[in-house]
Amino acid sequence: MKIIVGIDLGTTNSEISCLRTEGRPEVIPVEGETIMPSCVGIDHEGRLMVGRTAKNQMVANPEQTILSIKRRMGEKITLPLGDKAFSPEEISSFILGKLKSAAETYLGQKVEKAVITVPAYFDDAQRQATREAGILAGLDVVRIINEPTAAALAYEAGREEKQRILIYDLGGGTFDASLVEMENGIVEVRSSHGDTHLGGDDFDRLLSDHVALPFKKKYGIDLKSDLKAANRLWVAVEKAKRTLSDRPFATIREEFIVGDRHLDVEISREEYEEMIRPLLRKTMIAVHSCLKDAMFLPKAIDKIILVGGSTRTPLVARMLEDDMGIEPHHEINPDLIVAMGAAIQGAAMSGAKTKAILVDITPYTFGTRAIGEYQGRMTSDVYVPVIKRNSALPVGKEELFYTNYDNQQDILVEIFQGDEPLASENIFIGNFWIKGLSKAKAGNLILLNLELDVNGILKVTAKEKATGLARTVTMDTANKGTGTNLEEKRSNIESFLREDDDVEADGDDEGGGERDDGDVVLDKQGLINRAKSLRKRAEGMIPGVNEEDAAELTDLLEKNRRAIAGHDWGTVGRLNESLSDMLFYLED
């Protein structure tokens, strides 16, 4: 039985997990860490870097480093990387490809299928973009599930008693609140609410502004206007934010951050929490909207589960307990719980015996535009809901409409997402024409059917009842207006990786060896990039150390060069660690 992995494709970090037995899901390490930064970049020689290596070079090479790409999923944009430009889906595919490669190394087998999680409040375009990123990474995305739902699967799998659970999911870039009912292994989502642009990144921004302002007043220098200084500041405040989760004070100290100027600031947890309190209040509004949609009062909730690294801020738990009267739970690592739940769903879909069955919902209403009355006036902009939000997935609904005038032969079907009374006030999803209707008087019956699958992908069918004339369209909003199809994106990625491989071969004199399969190119590239960085540091240090240390460094460098030439990646990894340890000792 082939393993279906679970992937949490996060704004700040990403994780991959699998379930090989009926026990607990395993979180698969990437380069020795269970959490991989969702960061993509290229080094000064044009080589691709993904994960920790990309994040480590961010300060030195900010123009060639991309962070928080999840916030741009579904947008019709491209971002420059080297001499090419990539869509958010393509950038995300590099992250997924790295996770896939790490899983194949860990499991000793090909990884072809995955369950990928998304925020519950991701719209159709964002879900389509996530699925496309998986395809570009060489994965068959068998299911897209909501992050809070995955967390509930991981936390409550196998518990028999009936419980109502509030999932509070605050990540790096998104927030979701979901109400889940669980009984006899059935996990049913009752309602979801959230904000796809609220998370830990916003906390970092507020903290950066707080630190940068007094520096500007003192020295007349805006740290945020200098890209390298801004990135150093971002790294420093992110570290301080994590410190404040456990300690009452954190120091931000960066020497020579601009010219000969130093940054040295102490931040208290109390100051930080006052900065982010307005944003956390927004999350509480979403929590109450979630409860209202499910028609529950706070006292009906049995448990609150915290998900996402940003929930480590103590104020989050305090606000929830003060407001709901329940102490939140975080027994499972909030950074890993979503990937673990996705792995449980993947195991269930592969035929393995699992202890939970998922019933997910759509957090959005989908409908169409029609002629009707609004505030006492006739308008052609009335919004008619067809699938209501919080409907269990999969769902199909059909509504009856009528032609507007005699012998009307064409109808424009327009689909929107939202709950506002006017169609133009909702999010436009897509449209299509149905042409060639029979010549009939006004009032010819037209059936409009909307089907939303378990991945949140929408299929629309319009049919003339009298003749059966119909047209069906899948609303692929991720590509709308971009002029770039999936094959073009795949070709763009492949050409980039080929160029990357050519640069590697020229720079390392590794000709004569066969090129590795594309499935492992990202993992291999990370090892090579690290070896190059270590080599530069070592070569710069050799003239200044004693003869014995110089000989040992030279020996390690030569062994590493031979291991790279022989494509012995396990040995390269071990030698990289040996070099890193020795350099740390000598530099200290």
CB 335 within 8 A of CB 311: no
How far is the C-alpha of 301 from the C-alpha of 266, rounded, in Å?
Answer: 39
- Can you point out the beta strands (E) in 227-298? 249-258, 261-268
Count how many Cα atoms sit within 13 Å of the Cα of residue 367 in the half-sphere of its side chain.
23
Question: Collapsing DSSP states into helix, strand and coil, what is residue 382?
Answer: strand
Say which residues have a Cβ less than 8 Å from residue 499's Cβ, sequence separation at least 6.
Answer: 46
Max distance between CA atoms of the chain, in angstroms, equals 98
- The angle formed by the CA atoms of residues 478, 484 and 488, to the nearest 5 degrees, is 120
Options 15, 132, 147, 156, the catalytic residue: 147
The reply to whether 169 belongs to the active site is yes
Alpha-carbon Rg for the chain, nearest whole angstrom, is: 27
Q: Which of 360, 415, 409 is nearest to 387 (CA)?
A: 415
Alpha-carbon distance of 50 to 61, in angstroms, equals: 14
| Other Cβ atoms within 10 Å of 90 Cβ, number | 25
* Cα gap 158→147, rounded to integer Å: 19
Q: Which of 90, 124, 169, 238 is catalytic?
A: 169
Could you check whether the bond before residue 363 is cis, i.e. omega within 30 degrees of 0?
no
Catalytic, out of 8, 176, 201, 335: 8
Catalytic residue among 70, 98, 100, 524: 70
Q: E strands within 443-493? A: 445-452, 458-464, 470-474
* Cα separation, 161 vs 567, whole angstroms: 53
Nearest-angstrom CA–CA distance, 357 and 186: 5
Query: Is 70 a known active-site residue?
Result: yes
Tokens read off for 145: 């599930």
> CA 452 from chain center: how many Å?
22
Return the structure tokens found at 564.
């790279």
Q: How far is CA 229 from the centre of its chain?
A: 26
What tokens appear for 63 in the block?
A: 């123009």
Sequence length of the chain is 588
Is-contact 473 449, C-beta < 8 A?
A: no
Contact present, 131 and 480 (Cβ < 8 Å): no
Q: Which residue has the tokens 């759509």?
A: 362
3-state secondary structure of 99: helix
Q: How far, in whole angstroms, is CA 410 from its chain's centroid?
A: 41
Would you please indicate which residues are annotated as catalytic (active-site) residues?
Answer: 8, 70, 147, 169
